């Protein structure tokens, strides 16, 4: 049977675009891609990129104060949200065009349309057209989840943050994951009065306990009002704001309520189950090590599979798929020891196991130090940083590295290389320190603070 395309990709996010481009440019495949929204997906349009630019913007207020403490004559004005927002949207437009141009240069045909599956070889476009492909790749990412319909009626999500007309003076953030904590720090830095509700006992569940505690303490020190073990029990619109009553008795009126309570795989209405594709408990597409679904001609990469929901992972999965199916190679994406960063203030970088997880299967030594860095101690700021290595007693391999500090995202990328290579604690010890830096602590910690 002759097909219209060798590959049809549904979804124009990081994973789908990478797979399409590599299959076309390096694999010689005839490729088409459909995207119903904007090219670039969550990361470029409503996630990592605009969020990181907001992180940068939010940090300048403290930096100006620090500059004054260091002797500079600094006049700090008000933050102009609309000026920033205009520049932000222009940058996103530029990046989206780059994604489009790269696809076009590779020979990929783009459909600005919603697409779904009609059968294992047929894609149905929103205008009713049907096209066929030897292979179909689903890379539709995820979508935000509200706790319930009522929350959706008065709250906003992280998708809406970048389109606000005005900066909220009083903001409630519901959630305790990395998205909630990042935006709490961002809006606090931009001048909003931020309150955060989280139903759990401590923010950033699933990350290292010691790091979580230090970040929570730092956020509170910066004026973020964190309420753990807390949920909304009642709410109503009052004028231009929202009145909220919480389970701990707290009542207040907020200009905006931001729900950052999770994301779910974007699989609804795609015809997946009708085509025979197996879905998991949370609606994720179930795949094997090579991203193959239960239907041999259909693969899936990125957040829609709910494996490791990070942009670089989706890119690796998409590239490995194209190399394997169209490049004559045999490459399964490697999901082991993936570094990650949380852009709170201070940042948190992590790779490998948390101390809590390492205790379950290993005999471990924990090397950890926390201190006031020179830059902030000099001007009397109370900020603390943390460096932590978790070491297997028997093999001496470093099982996990955790850093809480400005620039932790940059540092963990480099530490991740060593740990991925199987570095031992003695390899770290043999490395000469760079002085004076905060990161020299990674190679100067000699005595474990505890063992298990």
Structure tokens at 298: 């259909």
The dihedral sign for the CA sequence 115, 153, 197, 407: positive
Instruction: Mark residue 397 as left, alpha or beta (left: phi above 0; alpha: psi -120 to 50; beta: remaining).
Output: beta
The answer to whether the CB of 191 falls within 8 A of the CB of 160 is no
Tokens of 43: 């990361």
What are 357's two structure tokens? 């997880």
Q: What is the CA radius of gyration of the chain?
A: 24
The whole-angstrom separation of Cα 44 and Cα 222 is 29
Q: How far apart are CA 324 and CA 1, in angstroms?
A: 22
Catalytic positions, please?
A: 435
Q: Token match 């002797």: residue?
A: 71
Alpha helices (runs of H) in 238-397, residue ranges in sequence order: 311-326, 355-361, 374-377
Check whether the bond before 297 is cis (ω within 30° of 0).
no
DSSP helix/strand/coil, 439: helix
The arrangement of strands across the sheet holding 398-404 comes to 340-342, 348-352, 398-404, 385-392, 364-371, 450-451
Say if residue 83 is preceded by a cis peptide, omega within 30 of 0.
Answer: no
Q: 138 near 299, Cβ under 8 Å?
A: yes
Q: Helix/strand/coil (H, E, C) string of 167-230?
A: CCCEEEEECCCHHHHHHHHHHHHHCCEEEEEECCCCCCCCCCHHHHHHHHHHHHHCCCEEEECC
């Amino acid at each position: 049977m002759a097909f219209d395309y060798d590959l049809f990709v549904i979804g124009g996010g990081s994973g789908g675009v990478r797979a399409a481009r590599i299959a076309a440019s390096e694999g010689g495949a005839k490729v088409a891609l459909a995207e119903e929204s904007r090219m670039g997906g969550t990361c470029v349009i409503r996630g990592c990129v605009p969020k990181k630019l907001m992180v940068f913007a939010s940090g300048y207020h403290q930096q100006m104060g620090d500059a004054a403490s260091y002797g500079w004559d600094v006049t700090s004005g008000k933050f102009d949200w609309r000026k920033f927002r205009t520049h932000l949207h222009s940058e996103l437009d530029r990046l989206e065009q780059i994604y489009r141009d790269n696809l076009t240069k590779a020979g990929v045909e783009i459909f600005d349309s919603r697409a779904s599956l009609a059968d294992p070889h047929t894609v149905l476009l929103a205008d009713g057209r049907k096209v066929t492909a030897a292979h179909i790749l689903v890379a539709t990412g995820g979508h935000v989840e509200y706790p319930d319909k009522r929350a959706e009626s008065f709250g906003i999500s992280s998708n809406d943050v970048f389109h606000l007309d005005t900066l909220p003076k009083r903001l409630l953030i519901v959630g305790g994951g990395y998205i909630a904590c990042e935006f709490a720090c961002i809006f606090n830095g931009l001048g909003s009065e931020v309150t955060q509700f989280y139903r759990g006992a401590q923010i950033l569940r699933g990350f290292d306990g010691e790091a979580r505690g230090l970040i929570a303490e730092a956020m509170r020190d910066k004026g973020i009002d964190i309420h753990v073990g807390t949920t909304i029990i009642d709410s109503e619109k009052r004028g231009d704001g929202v009145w909220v009553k919480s389970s701990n008795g707290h009542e207040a009126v907020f200009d905006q309520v931001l729900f950052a309570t999770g994301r779910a795989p974007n699989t609804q209405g795609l015809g997946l189950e009708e085509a025979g594709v197996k879905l998991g408990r949370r609606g994720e597409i179930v795949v094997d090590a090579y991203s193959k679904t239960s239907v041999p001609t259909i693969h899936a990469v990125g957040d829609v599979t709910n494996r490791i929901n990070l942009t670089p992972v989706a890119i690796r999965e998409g590239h490995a798929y194209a190399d394997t199916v169209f490049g004559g190679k045999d490459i399964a994406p490697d999901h082991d020891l993936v570094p990650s960063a949380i852009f709170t203030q201070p940042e948190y970088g992590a790779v490998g196991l948390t101390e809590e997880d390492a205790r379950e299967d290993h005999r471990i030594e924990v090397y950890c130090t926390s201190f006031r860095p020179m830059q902030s101690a000099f001007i009397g700021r109370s900020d603390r940083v943390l460096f932590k290595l978790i070491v297997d007693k028997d093999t001496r391999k470093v099982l996990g590295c955790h850093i809480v500090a400005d620039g932790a995202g940059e540092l963990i990328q480099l530490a991740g290389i060593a740990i991925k290579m199987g570095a031992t604690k003695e390899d770290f010890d043999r490395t000469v320190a760079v002085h004076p830096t905060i990161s020299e602590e990674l190679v100067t910690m000699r005595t474990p603070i505890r063992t298990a």
